Chain A
């Protein structure tokens, strides 16, 4: 009994250290539960990818689930030797595109979507974070995406090039343009917000719940 338990923990440990690609091959060969280890590794990065891209948390969580569902569904199409990270981000991008094909966006950006105020930050930093978030959200999707991929998802430029299906040089040019645009947006917002109201935010009175317009 003890022997078996020890063997199991050893197995768990080995799994935690195994490269993504080996784990994915196990999933491919039918060991669906191994996907849990990959989930632990990737769900937070993917969630951040989506939440920075869409500004919508519920949607981001749904999309993360969708990615892992697709991995199960299409596990046979995973080719040995393919870097898993590239593969999962490919799935992640497709999942988002498909989502917006089904449910087109009505809202591109709303101030409410800005990350909540983090108490430990100094006031100035919080404001900068908010400005930055807005500047990022104002960018077109493709530019925001390439910035997020390179800055937050720790993908190398050649990985991004493969993911987007373009040349390495193009990726660099695009990243540079995206940075330029982000800086412009940031400056504009900063100027626009210069005479910012001090004091606590206005608490909006919660309107009575209504269904439709007619009450």
Chain B
């Protein structure tokens, strides 16, 4: 048998779903043909690739999402103006007066339907675009809630994930922003603070982000974060930066590397 014919049988052979005779045929061929043998071998070798475990935060994120979703739905349901209104309209349509009005309306619709027919598809796609837009807003809200809840987790790696999750959105929500600024200032882990700074650095166009970052310098203890903050201030050419840095270099017991960096930054800014 040729390799081509064997090739047709091979996928079934690999899943063990061939009849005995065909199975034998394949095995016979494989014993003789190195190419086909290697194909079988590489398929088997794929089992070497490890089964990976999602992080522990995964379940929590899911639950936060589920809660957010259900809260959102309950809010909508308790607002509940829709149903009575709809019922009233329906009753009116079924009343005799309603029936006459309805028929008249149908007639008018019938007359104009032809004219509007061409435009109909356009209108339809508008509505569905509105729906999609509404869904996106809802989705963004939910993502914010998830970020906010993750930034409050006990474990640093989960807070880190919260920060990296916040970067997925192009627009920075004010609440998320202030949470990130808070993280930058007060988080116990240097890694999380650096990640927060990195996430904030993408939104330098927002004045509040600027202020949050510049304000954070005075309180930082970690040289790594201090240097990163100084670099960012230089990059942004922040108007306050020079004054802040001049105060900053006066800090007693400043790490020499950080001081050097701050001096360099001052020379850049002046």
Contacts and interface: CB of A to CB of B under 8 A. Distances in A.
Contacts of A64: 54, 58
A168 B139 CA distance: 37
Nearest to A46: B54
A108 interface: no
B177 to A, nearest CB: 17
A61 B56 CA distance: 11
Contacts of A199: none
Contacts of B227: 208-209
B220 interface: no
Contact of A129 (B50, B52, B224): B50
Contact of A179 (B10, B54, B224, B231): B10
A126 B241 CA distance: 50
Contact of A44 (B54, B63, B198): B54
Contacts of A210: 231
Nearest to B135: A73
B46 A47 contact: no
B46 A214 contact: no
Contact of B45 (A44, A57, A128): A128
A145 B43 CA distance: 14
Contacts of B53: 44, 47
A211 B10 contact: no
B191 to A, nearest CB: 12
Interface residues of B, number: 48
Interface stretch (A14-22, A31-39, A81-89): A31-39
Interface residues of A, number: 53
A43 interface: yes
B161 to A, nearest CB: 7
B232 A36 contact: no
Interface of A: 32-33, 35-36, 39, 43-44, 47-48, 51-52, 57-58, 60-62, 64-65, 68-69, 72-73, 115, 118, 125, 128-129, 132-133, 136, 147, 150-152, 156-157, 171-173, 175-176, 179-180, 182-183, 186, 208-212, 214-215
Q: Which 6 A-B residue pairings sit nearest by Cβ, starting from the closest?
A: A47-B54, A172-B11, A209-B228, A175-B11, A183-B42, A129-B48
Interface of B: 7-8, 10-12, 15, 38-39, 42-43, 45-46, 48-55, 58-59, 61-63, 65-66, 69-70, 73, 135, 139, 142, 146, 161, 164-165, 168, 194, 198, 201, 224, 227-228, 231-232, 234-235
